[in-house]
């Protein structure tokens, strides 16, 4: 692991609201696929091209500014590149740097990120929002003694923590009264063991609130663990599978992976269904750039839906903040509209900045027919 950590929704919101004033923001994301971890030279050369591209972009954006600003930009780009380099072979990384304005954030992302470098007034958040949600899933295999926690990495389970411990056995030959006392003792130990697992899971879910969690084990242990979880961790549980206490990795993967895939597909389908039915009833939904941008700058977007093909430019009023796909001057205050080169990035920033969420939708013809963007609205 590198120093970079998963990014919280609060930090995302801060990034979404950040606007450079003295410097410019360097946003760099480098995708690392752990399944191909034997190719660090290939990743390093992708990073070199990204840095070269960043330097070219920087020259364009910083044309005509002073030496100090250009030097600050060079330092920011070098810092982001060094951070990405340190993660080669481990995880995907997204970095945001603007030294003159005091911005530095790097995030380790479990899924594969697109390789992107951008230089501009705002952190470029599209790559982070496009990471595969399923790649953040957690699973726990539990019994009276077992306590293994896994995360999903490139379609495989990878052990994160092992809290397994030996527990005393029940004694068959004990006197009846003694037996009862012993069993209570053993049950207390098992309960304490499950409690330690619950504490870890609570922490992991708190650090990564969008992670789904799958519990594996005998029914009684899974139920006891679930009861010990925090409210948030319990809400993150997307399913449970029944396995014997000593089930091996192959069996865990065989049962857990299809369940995760199925849950992700179901969730996406449910979201799209809700969006379609809200649209049909002219309810709380937006479709296409004009409606979605309009809703996003008013803080009405609860969940932004976008496809990989969503693209375009947008305009934004520097006075009132209203955003639209086209136009010269603001309909409200007459101010000359500023061009935003990337409408998707703008709508993501507006959504996150108002506390909404964003989600990449893999296959939805209705969304693609209208610019590849839409939203579920708060009001």
Residues that bind Zn ion (CB under 5 A): 317, 319-320, 330, 332-333
Pairing of strands 138-142, 213-217: parallel
Query: Nearer to Zn ion by C-beta: 333 or 363?
Result: 333
Query: Nearer to Zn ion by C-beta: 207 or 332?
Result: 332
Rounded to an integer, what distance in angstroms lies between the CA atom of residue 65 and that of residue 58? 11
Instruction: Write the secondary structure of 246-294 as one string of H (helix), E (strand) and C (coil).
Output: CCCHHHHHHHHHHHHHHHHHHHHHHHHHHHHHHHHCCCCEEEHHHHHHH
Query: Nearer to Zn ion by C-beta: 146 or 322?
Result: 322
Q: Residue 338 Cβ, how far from Zn ion at the closest point, in Å? A: 10
DSSP string, 179-213: HHHHHHHHHHHHHHHHHHHHHHHHHHHHH-TT--E
**94 class by beta-carbon count within 10 Å (0-12 exposed, 13-18 middle, 19+ buried):** buried
Query: Nearer to Zn ion by C-beta: 275 or 289?
Result: 289
Rounded to an integer, what distance in angstroms lies between the CA atom of residue 304 and that of residue 294? 12
Strand partners, 5: 107
Q: Report CA dihedral (166, 172, 177, 181) to the nearest 10 degrees.
A: 10
> Which DSSP helix (H) or strand (E) runs through 373?
strand 373-377
Rounded to an integer, what distance in angstroms lies between the CA atom of residue 204 and that of residue 318? 40
Q: Residue 282 Cβ, how far from Zn ion at the closest point, in Å? A: 27
* Contact present, 168 and 241 (Cβ < 8 Å): no
Left, alpha or beta for 333 (phi > 0: left; psi -120 to 50: alpha)? alpha
Q: Residue 328 Cβ, how far from Zn ion at the closest point, in Å? A: 12
Angle at 272 between CA 270 and CA 274, to 5 degrees: 70
Q: Residue 295 Cβ, how far from Zn ion at the closest point, in Å? A: 16
Q: Residue 350 Cβ, how far from Zn ion at the closest point, in Å? A: 14
Query: Nearer to Zn ion by C-beta: 68 or 331?
Result: 331
Rounded to an integer, what distance in angstroms lies between the CA atom of residue 238 and that of residue 205? 13
Query: Nearer to Zn ion by C-beta: 207 or 319?
Result: 319
Query: Nearer to Zn ion by C-beta: 193 or 322?
Result: 322
State how far the alpha carbon of 11 is from the alpha carbons of 196, 254, 364, in Å: 28, 35, 30
Q: Residue 16 Cβ, how far from Zn ion at the closest point, in Å? A: 20
Q: Residue 329 Cβ, how far from Zn ion at the closest point, in Å? A: 8
Query: Nearer to Zn ion by C-beta: 330 or 343?
Result: 330
Q: Residue 39 Cβ, how far from Zn ion at the closest point, in Å? A: 49
Rounded to an integer, what distance in angstroms lies between the CA atom of residue 341 and that of residue 204? 37
Q: Residue 109 Cβ, how far from Zn ion at the closest point, in Å? A: 35
Q: What residues have CB less than 8 Å from 340, skipping those under 6 apart?
A: 313, 314, 315, 316, 323, 346
Rounded to an integer, what distance in angstroms lies between the CA atom of residue 142 and that of residue 184? 20
Query: Nearer to Zn ion by C-beta: 307 or 324?
Result: 324
Query: Nearer to Zn ion by C-beta: 37 or 319?
Result: 319
Q: Residue 128 Cβ, how far from Zn ion at the closest point, in Å? A: 29
């Amino acid at each position: 692991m590198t120093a970079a950590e998963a990014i919280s929704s609060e930090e995302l919101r801060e990034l979404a609201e950040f606007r450079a004033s003295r410097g410019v923001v360097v946003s760099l994301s480098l995708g690392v696929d752990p399944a191909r971890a034997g190719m660090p030279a290939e990743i390093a050369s992708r990073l070199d091209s990204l840095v070269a591209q960043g330097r070219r972009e920087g020259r364009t954006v910083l044309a005509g500014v002073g030496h100090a600003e250009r030097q600050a930009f060079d330092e920011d780009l070098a810092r982001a590149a060094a951070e990405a380099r340190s993660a080669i072979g481990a995880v995907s990384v997204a970095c945001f740097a603007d030294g003159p304005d005091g911005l530095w954030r790097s995030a380790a992302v479990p899924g594969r990120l697109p390789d992107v470098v951008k230089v501009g007034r705002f952190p470029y958040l599209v790559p982070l929002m496009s990471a595969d949600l399923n790649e953040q899933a957690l699973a726990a295999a539990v019994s009276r003694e077992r306590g293994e926690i896994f995360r999903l990495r490139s379609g495989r389970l990878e052990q994160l923590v092992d809290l397994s411990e030996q527990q005393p056995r029940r004694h068959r030959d004990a006197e009846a009264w003694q037996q009862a006392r012993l069993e209570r003792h053993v049950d207390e130990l098992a309960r304490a063991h499950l409690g330690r697992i619950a504490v870890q899971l609570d922490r992991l879910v708190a650090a990564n609130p969008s992670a789904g969690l799958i519990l594996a084990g005998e029914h009684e242990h899974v139920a006891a663990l679930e009861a010990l979880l925090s409210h948030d961790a319990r809400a993150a549980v997307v399913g449970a599978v029944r396995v014997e206490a000593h089930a091996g990795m192959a069996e865990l993967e065989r049962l857990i992976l299809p369940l995760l895939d199925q849950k992700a597909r179901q969730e996406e389908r449910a979201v799209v269904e809700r969006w379609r039915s809200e649209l049909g009833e002219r309810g709380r939904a937006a479709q296409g750039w004009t409606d979605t941008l309009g809703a996003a700058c008013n803080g009405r977007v609860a969940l932004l839906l976008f496809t990989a093909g969503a693209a375009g430019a947008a305009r934004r009023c520097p006075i009132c903040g209203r955003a639209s796909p086209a136009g010269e001057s603001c309909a409200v205050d007459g101010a000359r509209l500023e061009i935003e080169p990337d409408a998707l990035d703008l709508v993501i920033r507006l959504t996150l900045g108002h506390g909404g969420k964003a989600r990449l939708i893999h296959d939805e013809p209705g969304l693609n027919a209208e610019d590849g963007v839409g939203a579920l609205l708060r009001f």
